[in-house]
Amino acid sequence: MKLKNKPITLFCCAVLLSLINTSAWALDTDKDQPINIESNTATYDDVTATSTYIGNVVSIQGSILVNSDKLVVYFVDGDADKLVFTGNKAKFKQTPNVGEKDIIGEALTGTLYPKKDLMVLMDNATVWKDNGTYSSNLIEYDIKTSLVKAGSKTSDNSRVHVVLKPKSVEQKNPEKPASAIISPK
């Protein structure tokens, strides 16, 4: 390489690196991102260290988007420790990695533990991941590893229902559960 072309090459590399979407780094650090919440009403109770949001609630933390009718945030030492969202099917979506298909879920009640990278969906829960649909009354979703655990080991009364579609069928007739998710403004 000629010495006079080296500064131009370095400049071009620097420009390309600055144009790369930084969300690639944000996905692994969702728990370190701020939580942005929009709702019709908001209340903070200093005694119980809880904040309650009601009405068309949209919560975003990194690549995680949650839509619900109501959200209660529980604080420990000033940090959001647990977010409980409810609704006539509260919904979430998360981008596991750049370029990968979003993971989408819904339930009547959900609990997000941001510092533990864990979301627990309860009561009529469903998660769409890759070419599978997982339904149960209890689903645990590991946000960091995209691992879905459905059902309860302590009860035989609750069954898990899974549908695995061949990729060729999915590509011809894709399901659109994302249409139920409200995009942020």
CATH number, domain of 150, equals 2.60.450.10
Q: What average pLDDT does this structure show over 120-132? A: 92
- pTM to 2 decimal places: 0.72
- Residue range(s) defining the domain that contains residue 14: 3-180
Written as six digits, the tokens of 118 are 């864990």
Q: Count of domains in the chain?
A: 1
pLDDT of residue 4: 53
User: Which ranges in the chain belong to alpha helices (H)?
Assistant: 6-19, 23-26, 167-172
76 within a domain of the structure (yes/no): yes
Are 97 and 52 within 8 A, CB to CB? no
- For the segment 148-153, the average pLDDT, to the nearest whole number, is 82
Nearest one of 73, 67, 39, 37 to 54, comparing CA atoms? 39
Q: What is the pLDDT of residue 23?
A: 36
* Predicted pLDDT of residue 71: 97
- Would 185 be classed as within a structural domain? no
Q: How confident is the model at residue 85 (pLDDT cuts 50, 70, 90)?
A: very high
10 in any annotated domain: yes
Residue 162 has a pLDDT of 80
| CA dihedral over 44, 180, 94, 131, signed as positive or negative | positive
CA–CA distance, 64 with 4 (Å, rounded to integer) = 46
Quick one: pLDDT band at residue 15, thresholds 50, 70, 90?
Answer: very low
User: In sequence order, what are the beta bridge partners of 99?
Assistant: none
Q: What is the pLDDT of residue 184?
A: 46
